[in-house]
Structure 1
Amino acid sequence: MLSGFLRLIPILMLAGIAGLIGESFLGDELGWLIALLIVVISLFIAYVNQSRLDVFVRGAGISHLFGFGSSWSEIFFRLQRIITGLRKDIEHVERQYRRFIEAFQASPNGIVMLDDQDQIEWCNAIAEQFLSIQFKRDVLQRIHYIVRRPEFVQYITGRKYDEPVVLEKMGSNSSRILLLQAFPFSENRRLVLIQDITDLSKAEAMRRDFVANVSHEMRTPLTVMMGFLETVQTLDLPAEQKAQYLEMMMDQGKRMKNLVEDLLTLANLEANSQPAPLNSISMSYLMSLIKNDAYALSQGKHALNMNLNTSCNL
């Protein structure tokens, strides 16, 4: 109320001065009529500008920001500059936000953002698949109300994130093995990264089985060789029989040598991330290696017949 009255003072002063001047040159009635007209026009301009500003404040577009009079035009011009700058800043932030979201969505790992109450603030599509989450439905739900595994609930609520937690039988068909680790960030929030280690776990299981099988395969020829050596050492055998035993020990030694070479080959293949060079492989040589391995495994208990009917190589 007071501010509105103060804004009228310059108008009334201008009208009074105009009235006095008009009274001196044009007479009483015409001079004060001019003063009244100045007051009415000024109030009308102020009313129109104030109305446009009120319309803009209530949510109208920036196109409503234009006014009558030099002072109001300056005010509206500065407001337009400020609003235009703010809009550019907002558009820049929105573009950055969209880029971050697109980057998170492109990640092969699941990503879940939790607030300080363990509520889901955001997750990418991979996390929805891994944890059977529907973001639109489950947003702001506590994550351990959705993933109810005891080890996961204890991990999230325990606030100890030095080591990851492994969850088995996850996903829509309960066939995934997931590795989850939480990383705290601002204001007690957490970023949960989820990695599918199903293939890695299967490879580790195959490796363990392979090592066990190789150990068994090497134990057999070692046992045979030890038996032959004890026999040759303790018994006075004919030269022909000793030669036979030595030949059998040589076969077992070759078998162990082949196993060791296979292990070294696998180790080199696993350690070398570069693709193997393309070299020609002789099929006849490859078949001879397979034949020798088969005879070593058979130990003369089977009749093996291999025929190669092509001269092509790999």
Structure 2
Amino acid sequence: MSDSSFLPDDIQDEQHTEQHSALKNYISEDIRRLILILIISGLIGLGIGHFILFIALGLMFFFALQFRSLYLVNQWISQHSNEPPPELSGIWSALLFNVYRAQRRERTLQAEMVGLIDRAQSSLMALEEAVVLIDEEHCLEWWNPASERLLGLKLGDRRRQVLTILRNPEFIKYFNHVEDHPNGLILQSTLQEGRFIQVKITRFGYESRLLVAYDVTHIRKLEQMRKDFVDNISHELRTPLTVLSGYIETLSDNDDMPQRWRRAFDQMHQQARRMNALVNDLLLLSRLENESSKSKNQIVNMAELMNQLFDDAQGYNTEFGHSVHLNLESHNDIIGSDIELASAFGNLVTNAIKYTPNNGDITISWQDRGDVSIFSVQDTGIGISPEHIPRLTERFYRVDSGRSRETGGTGLGLAIVKHVLAQHEAHLEIESQEQMGSTFKAVFPKHRLQPPE
């Protein structure tokens, strides 16, 4: 693309007009030279009586000059193109000028590109994160110094297959199926015990890859400290809460209690129950996190589980008056943990009942959609504003804290659902509009389904 392609149309038209005008002038100069040579040759030929011969000699002389110019142009292009072009006239002068200008512009662009590449490489060399370029044949092409510290790469590894150097089975699986891990992969370092590396691979070009890795040991330690703290504090709170709840319940059953104290004890009992539910949810989350690597290979009978969820929903629905419907279309079962799935699905059903105004409609479904099967809970409740949906599965995130206090929610229900589904290689989809109800879908992949015999 020429430099002029970025200019306005009227300026480009002016440039083209000038170029055509200059080219016409150069051609006119060659034509005038040819006419002058022919006139001189013709006059000499007329003087000595050999007009045709001297006209032919004049033409030969003109073409000899052109061949000489062509020779000089060829010599300059092949040997001295970095130097200014030779002084020529006519069309050859225009050709040399355009070639010289194009070469000079190309050298300028190359110098700028080399400078840009040098700056980019200098920046990458200074990064604490490892950056590795892998070519289309999966060989190491370039890496920065941090890659040697984090991944153990050496100078002699250049042009070697990356999978012969980084041989962790999880990494090999990730490398061959990058799209299955959009957030990358955390690996334990082979260079230093207790060190963890986050690896992220991005495809570009035909089959080339960019690998970025960074140390997440500190983050892992903080996360483990958080898990330990939540686990320990939850266990420590459980005993005193049980004692308090027992005494409060005993005192509340006393018929001789003055009426002015009864309301206070009812509130204490309600808050103790809520605190106990929070502790139980925290313990469940902690257990899910600690057992994330355990296999879940039970065959969960979905027909039985769906009927159990429907019966539980009918019992919980007594004070709300909703119409609860069961839609059982799929015959597939799930390979997983029946206790965890019942807890996750129960959370979704309970939320739908709690956050739907009285006399609403709740539909619990188990359906097939192509190669996947979907557990869904649809309600006609208050709905959720779009900006809240991406954060609903965060711990303790509340769309409306006042409403959550009224319903007794702990803020951990959807976080538990997210963990359970992740451990079953499933995911949660949420569709909702304010005042139009919500639909929560748990989507299970084909390899997690057990077709009917």
Q: TM-score, normalised by structure 2?
A: 0.39
Per the TM alignment, residue 65 of structure 1 is displaced from its structure 2 partner at its CA by 2.1
Per the TM alignment, residue 90 of structure 1 is displaced from its structure 2 partner at its CA by 2.5
Equivalents in 1 of 2:216, 2:107: separation in Å?
45
| Higher strand residue share | 2
Equivalents in 2 of 1:174, 1:37: separation in Å?
90
Among 23, 32, 41, the alignment partner of 1:19 is 41
Q: Is the 8 A contact 2:139 2:160 kept in 1?
A: yes
Q: For 1:121-270, list aligned pairs within 5 A.
A: 121-134=141-154, 137-163=156-182, 164-170=184-190, 172-173=191-192, 176-211=195-230, 214=233
State yes or no: 1:78 paired with 2:98: yes
Equivalents in 2 of 1:141, 1:208: separation in Å?
41
State yes or no: 1:102 paired with 2:114: no
The one-character-per-residue Cα deviations of 1:260-306 (angstroms, maximum 9, x if unpaired) are: xxxxxxxxxxxxxxxxxxxxxxxxxxxxxxxxxxxxxxxxxxxxxxx
> Who is 2:86 aligned against?
66
SS class of match (2:41): helix
Q: Is the 8 A contact 1:168 1:178 kept in 2?
A: yes
Equivalents in 1 of 2:169, 2:79: separation in Å?
50
Equivalents in 2 of 1:149, 1:55: separation in Å?
59
Does the C-alpha gap of structure 1 residues 175 and 38 become closer, same or farther in structure 2, counting only changes over 3 Å?
A: farther
Q: Is the 8 A contact 1:120 1:138 kept in 2?
A: yes
SS class of match (2:149): helix
SS class of match (1:62): coil
Per the TM alignment, residue 209 of structure 1 is displaced from its structure 2 partner at its CA by 4.3
Superposition RMSD in Å: 4.3
Equivalents in 2 of 1:77, 1:22: separation in Å?
36
Q: Is the 8 A contact 1:52 1:65 kept in 2?
A: no
Does the C-alpha gap of structure 1 residues 45 and 64 become closer, same or farther in structure 2, counting only changes over 3 Å?
A: farther
Equivalents in 1 of 2:220, 2:50: separation in Å?
102
Q: Is the 8 A contact 1:22 1:31 kept in 2?
A: no
Q: TM-score, normalised by structure 1?
A: 0.53
Does the C-alpha gap of structure 1 residues 222 and 162 become closer, same or farther in structure 2, counting only changes over 3 Å?
A: closer
Structure 2 residues without counterparts, runs of 5 or longer: 1-31, 246-453
Letter of the 1:167 counterpart: L
Equivalents in 1 of 2:33, 2:56: separation in Å?
10
Among 27, 32, 46, the alignment partner of 2:67 is 46
Equivalents in 2 of 1:62, 1:32: separation in Å?
43
Per the TM alignment, residue 147 of structure 1 is displaced from its structure 2 partner at its CA by 0.9
> Who is 2:272 aligned against?
none
Q: Is the 8 A contact 2:85 2:100 kept in 1?
A: yes
Does the C-alpha gap of structure 1 residues 58 and 141 become closer, same or farther in structure 2, counting only changes over 3 Å?
A: farther
SS class of match (2:42): helix
| Higher helix residue share | 1
The one-character-per-residue Cα deviations of 1:111-169 (angstroms, maximum 9, x if unpaired) are: 223333323333322223211223x6434432111111111112112343434222213
Per the TM alignment, residue 67 of structure 1 is displaced from its structure 2 partner at its CA by 3.5
Equivalents in 2 of 1:16, 1:204: separation in Å?
94
Does the C-alpha gap of structure 1 residues 108 and 35 become closer, same or farther in structure 2, counting only changes over 3 Å?
A: same
SS class of match (2:181): coil
> Who is 2:450 aligned against?
none
Letter of the 2:168 counterpart: R
Q: Is the 8 A contact 2:203 2:209 kept in 1?
A: yes
Identity in percent: 24
Does the C-alpha gap of structure 1 residues 128 and 41 become closer, same or farther in structure 2, counting only changes over 3 Å?
A: farther
How many residue pairs get aligned? The number is 216
SS class of match (1:160): helix
Q: Is the 8 A contact 1:178 1:196 kept in 2?
A: yes
Does the C-alpha gap of structure 1 residues 152 and 224 become closer, same or farther in structure 2, counting only changes over 3 Å?
A: same
Equivalents in 1 of 2:193, 2:214: separation in Å?
15
The one-character-per-residue Cα deviations of 1:30-84 (angstroms, maximum 9, x if unpaired) are: 997897588458626633x334433344353331522422322221111112222
Does the C-alpha gap of structure 1 residues 11 and 35 become closer, same or farther in structure 2, counting only changes over 3 Å?
A: farther
Letter of the 1:24 counterpart: L
> Who is 2:395 aligned against?
none
Letter of the 1:102 counterpart: S
